[in-house]
Amino acid sequence: MTASVSPEKEGLKNILADRVALVTGSGRGIGKAIATVLAQHGAKIVISDINVETSDATAEEMVKAGFQAVSCPANVTNTESIDKMVESAMEKFGQIDILVNNAGITRDNLLLKMSEEHWQAVIDTNLTSAFKVTQPIVKIMSKQRYGRIINIASTTGVHGNFGQCNYAAAKAGLIGFTKTVALEYAKRNITCNAVAPGFIDTDMTKALGEKIINSFVEKIPAGRMGTPDDIARAVLFFAGLGDYVTGTVMEVNGGLYT
Ligand SMILES: NC(=O)c1ccc[n+]([C@@H]2O[C@H](COP(=O)([O-])OP(=O)(O)OC[C@H]3O[C@@H](n4cnc5c(N)ncnc54)[C@H](O)[C@@H]3O)[C@@H](O)[C@H]2O)c1
């Protein structure tokens, strides 16, 4: 049987033509790389970040590069803000086919030193946000009978990590959420998958400082940190090629399973 997308015949360049993708936390880092790679493969892009400046600047940059993009800034912990984001995105493009729940923060500390405030902030931003953002968008996708939801989890959510009990709990929760949304919406042609990055070179990890970064890199079989593009290409697979793949977690970690 012939595959519906043949790289030889059609090329992968436009596999997302006529698709609209909304990426949360896409003002910088992994989210920005995901938005760029999806745009390079034909998608129209909704850039959204709590930081209005980086959200607007990223969308502007993409438009200048010849892509169709709009900035709809939002705080993913705030329902009102999310509703406005979805409304603006629908006004602009009339559909949302791909949702990437990428916005996230870390507030690291050992369990005994972890404040309730930092626990809650990480759960709200990394986990509850996915529930709040996905709920209105899955409604739209259900009507369209088409949707690709990709949640950016973490290897920490699969294996745990020293000093990250809040983050590990949030990302593990996000994986459970992913598997359940996959079950509930499979019949509507909506897939839901997670990408679990390992140690990726962004502002989030730069904050750890050179000494800690080097000690992590030493343990990575691939011998280097991941790049935001490494994650974006995994997202591209779920967004454009993995029609029969749902409820799964792809670890993108250079071989580091700890
Ligand atoms: N960098 C890594 O090594 C790594 C590893 C595993 C998972 N991740 C995950 O990848 C995702 C992106 O991380 P990154 O490294 O690019 O981080 P980053 O800090 O560079 O970017 C995160 C973006 O999310 C935005 N954001 C934060 N809170 C928000 C909110 N409430 N509403 C909307 N936007 C908000 C920030 O403004 C920022 O632009 C996160 O979910 C993170 O947990 C990163």
* Helical (H) or strand (E) element with 205: helix 203-206
| Best mutation site among 32, 50, 101 for ligand 1 pocket (most ligand atoms within 8 Å of CB) | 50
DSSP3 helix / strand / coil % (the chain, rounded to 5): 50, 15, 35
Please indicate, yes or no, if residue 184 is contained in any of the structural domains: yes
- CA 24 – ligand 1 centroid, Å: 9
Structure tokens at 86: 């979805």
Among residues 167, 185, 244, 257, which one is catalytic?
167
Q: Is the pLDDT of residue 1 over 50?
A: no
- CA 232 – ligand 1 centroid, Å: 13
pTM for the model: 0.96
Domain that holds residue 127: 13-252
Please indicate, yes or no, if residue 7 is contained in any of the structural domains: no
* Residues 73, 78, 83, 84, Cα dihedral to 10°: -40
- CA 204 – ligand 1 centroid, Å: 7
Exposed, middle or buried, 164 (CB in 10 Å: 0-12/13-18/19+)? buried
Cβ contacts of 186 within 8 Å, gap of 6 or more: 246
Report the alpha-carbon distance of residue 42 to residue 20 in Å, rounded. Answer: 9
CB neighbour burial string for 167-181, b if at least 16 within 10 angstroms, e if fewer: bbbbbbbbbebbbeb
Q: Is the pLDDT of residue 9 over 70?
A: no
Structure tokens at 3: 């595959």
Residue 49: give its domain's CATH number.
Answer: 3.40.50.720
Number of domains in the chain: 1
Please indicate, yes or no, if residue 112 is contained in any of the structural domains: yes
Please indicate, yes or no, if residue 99 is contained in any of the structural domains: yes
Place 2 in a pLDDT band, splitting at 50, 70 and 90.
Answer: very low
Please indicate, yes or no, if residue 3 is contained in any of the structural domains: no
Q: Is the pLDDT of residue 14 over 90?
A: yes
Please indicate, yes or no, if residue 154 is contained in any of the structural domains: yes
- Taking CA atoms only, the protein residue closest to ligand 1 atom 4 is 200
Q: Does ligand 1 lie within 6 Å of residue 42's CB atom?
A: no
Place 6 in a pLDDT band, splitting at 50, 70 and 90.
Answer: low
**Residues 108-144 pLDDT 10s:** 999 999 999 999 999 999 999 999 999 999 999 999 9
User: DSSP letter at 127?
Assistant: I
**Residues 171-230 pLDDT 10s:** 999 999 999 999 999 999 999 999 999 999 999 999 889 999 999 999 999 999 999 999
Please indicate, yes or no, if residue 2 is contained in any of the structural domains: no
Report long-range pairs for 221-225 (Cβ below 8 Å, ≥24 apart).
221/254, 221/255, 221/256, 222/254, 222/255, 222/256, 223/254, 224/254, 225/199, 225/200, 225/201, 225/254
Q: At what angle do helices 228-240 and 29-40 cross, to 10 degrees?
A: 50
Active site annotation includes 185: no
- CA 14 – ligand 1 centroid, Å: 27
Please indicate, yes or no, if residue 219 is contained in any of the structural domains: yes
- Taking CA atoms only, the protein residue closest to ligand 1 atom 25 is 25
